[in-house]
Chains A and B, each alone.
Chain A
Amino acid sequence: MRLILRNLDTIRGILDKNKKLACLKPIINAIDGFYFGTDKVTSLPHILDHMDLKRYMTFVIVGLLPATIAAVYMWGLRVLAVIAVSYIFGGIVEAAFAVIRKKEIHEGFLVTGLIFPLILPPTIPLWLVAVGVMFGVMFGKEVFGGTGRNIFNPAIVGRIFLTVAFPQMMTTSWSHPFTHGLGGFVNYSADAVAQATPLALFKAEKIVTHYGDLFFGNTMGCIGETCRAGIILGGIFLIAAKISNWRLPLSCLLSLIVFSTLGNIFAPDIFAPALFQILSGGFLFGIFFMVTDPVTAPCTRAGKWIGGALFGFLVVLIRGLSGYVEGVMFSILLLNVFAPLIDHVVVDVKYPKLKT
Chain B
Amino acid sequence: MKKMRTFKGGYRFLNFEGQPKDILEEASIPSRVTIPLRQGFGGEGDCLVNPGDKVSAGQIIGAHDYGVSSPVHASISGVVTEVKRFNYFKRDCLMVSIQGDGSPEYQRATGATSAWEQLSEEAIERLLYLSGVTALDREGIPTRMRSSVILPEDVTSLIIHGVGSEPYNTSLEMQLQGKHMLNLVEGIRILRKIMAKAKVYLAINCQRKKILEQINKLTAQYEWLEVCPLEPRYPQGFDEMLVSAILGQKFPYGYSAANIGVVILNVQAVLQAYEAVVEGKPLIERTIALCGPAFKEPLHIKARIGTALNDIVSPRIKEGITPRFVLNGILTGPELKDLTLPIDKTYAQILAIPENHKREFLSFLQFGPLSDSYSHTFVAQAYSKAVKSCETNMHGEARPCISCNYCEEVCPVGIIPHLLSKYVQRSIIDETLMNLRIFNCIECGLCSYVCPSKIPLAKHIKEGQEKLTVSGCDRNQCILPYFSNLRGIEEYRGAKQL
Contacts and interface: CB of A to CB of B under 8 A. Distances in A.
Interface string A285-326: 000000000110101110000000000000000000000000
B403 A36 contact: no
A355 interface: yes
A242 B375 contact: yes
B481 A355 contact: yes
Contacts of A56: 375, 377, 402, 404, 452
A51 B400 contact: no
Instruction: Give chain B's interface secondary structure class.
Output: loop
B374 interface: yes
A50 B371 contact: yes
Contacts of A194: none
A106 B396 contact: no
B416 A49 contact: no
A46 B335 contact: yes
A354 B400 contact: no
A241 B373 CA distance: 11
B361 A53 contact: no
A17 interface: no
A354 B351 CA distance: 40
A53 B401 CA distance: 10
Kindly name the residue among A55, A58, A294 whose own CB sees the greatest number of chain B CB atoms within 10 A. A55
B376 interface: yes
B216 interface: no
Interface string B395-410: 1110111111100100
Nearest to B358: A39
Contacts of A108: 402
Contacts of A297: 403
A41 interface: yes
B326 interface: yes
B391 A354 contact: no
B395 A107 contact: no
Interface string A16-43: 0000000000000000010111111111
B110 interface: no
Contact of B396 (A35, A37, A301): A37
A108 B374 CA distance: 20
Contacts of A45: 330-332, 445, 448-449, 458
Interface stretch (B49-57, B100-108, B429-437): B429-437
A36 B359 contact: yes
Nearest to A145: B400
Contacts of B167: 47
A146 interface: yes
A144 to B, nearest CB: 11
Contact of B397 (A43, A52, A242): A52
Given A37-B359, A351-B435, A148 B400 contact: yes
A41 B478 contact: no
A241 B404 CA distance: 13
Contact of A107 (B358, B378, B399, B454): B399
B74 interface: no
Nearest to B440: A351
Contact of A51 (B396, B403, B408): B396
B332 to A, nearest CB: 7
Contacts of B357: 39-41
A107 B454 CA distance: 14
Nearest to A346: B416
B445 A53 contact: no
A30 to B, nearest CB: 10
Contact of A39 (B332, B359, B435, B436): B359
Interface residues of B, number: 69
A293 to B, nearest CB: 9
Interface string A138-157: 00000000111100000000
Given A36-B360, A53-B396, A295-B402, A47 B331 contact: yes
Instruction: Give chain A's interface secondary structure class.
Output: loop
Contacts of A49: 372-375, 395, 449-452
A347 B458 contact: no
A59 B376 CA distance: 11
A6 interface: no
A47 B445 CA distance: 10
Contact of B452 (A35, A36, A52, A245): A52
B356 A299 contact: no
Given A45-B332, A294-B402, A51 B392 contact: no
A275 B84 CA distance: 80
Interface stretch (B143-151, B301-309, B362-370): B362-370
B377 A51 contact: yes
Contacts of A50: 368, 371-373, 378, 395
Contact of B360 (A37, A147, A355): A37
B244 interface: no
Contacts of B375: 49, 51, 56, 241-243
B394 interface: yes
B462 to A, nearest CB: 9
A52 B396 contact: yes
Nearest to B332: A45
Given A58-B364, A355-B482, A51 B452 contact: yes
B448 A354 contact: no
Interface in B312-349: 324, 326, 330-333, 335
B361 A36 contact: yes
B90 to A, nearest CB: 14
Interface in A320-356: 347, 351, 353-356
B297 interface: no
B239 to A, nearest CB: 19
A354 B408 contact: no
Contacts of B395: 37-38, 48-52
A353 B335 CA distance: 38
Interface string B464-486: 00000000000001100110000
A149 B400 contact: yes
Contact of A48 (B363, B434, B454): B454
A31 to B, nearest CB: 12
B159 interface: no
Contacts of A54: 363-364, 396
A53 B453 contact: yes
A47 B391 contact: yes
B418 A299 contact: yes
A240 interface: yes
A43 B398 CA distance: 13
A21 B177 CA distance: 68
A43 B355 CA distance: 11
Interface of B: 167, 324, 326, 330-333, 335, 351, 353, 355-365, 368, 371-378, 390-397, 399-405, 408, 416, 418-419, 431, 434-437, 445, 448-454, 456, 458-459, 477-478, 481-482
Closest 5 CB pairs of A and B: A52-B396, A148-B400, A50-B371, A54-B364, A355-B481
27 contacts: A38-B359, A40-B397, A43-B459, A44-B448, A46-B324, A46-B335, A47-B330, A47-B331, A48-B396, A48-B454, A49-B450, A49-B451, A52-B364, A52-B452, A53-B399, A54-B364, A55-B364, A55-B377, A148-B399, A242-B375, A242-B377, A294-B402, A294-B403, A297-B403, A347-B416, A347-B419, A354-B477
Interface of A: 1, 33, 35-56, 58-59, 104, 106-108, 146-149, 240-243, 245, 294-295, 297, 299-301, 347, 351, 353-356
Given A42-B393, A49-B373, A50-B371, 13 more contacts: A37-B361, A37-B395, A37-B397, A38-B395, A41-B393, A44-B335, A44-B456, A47-B449, A48-B449, A50-B372, A55-B363, A240-B376, A351-B435
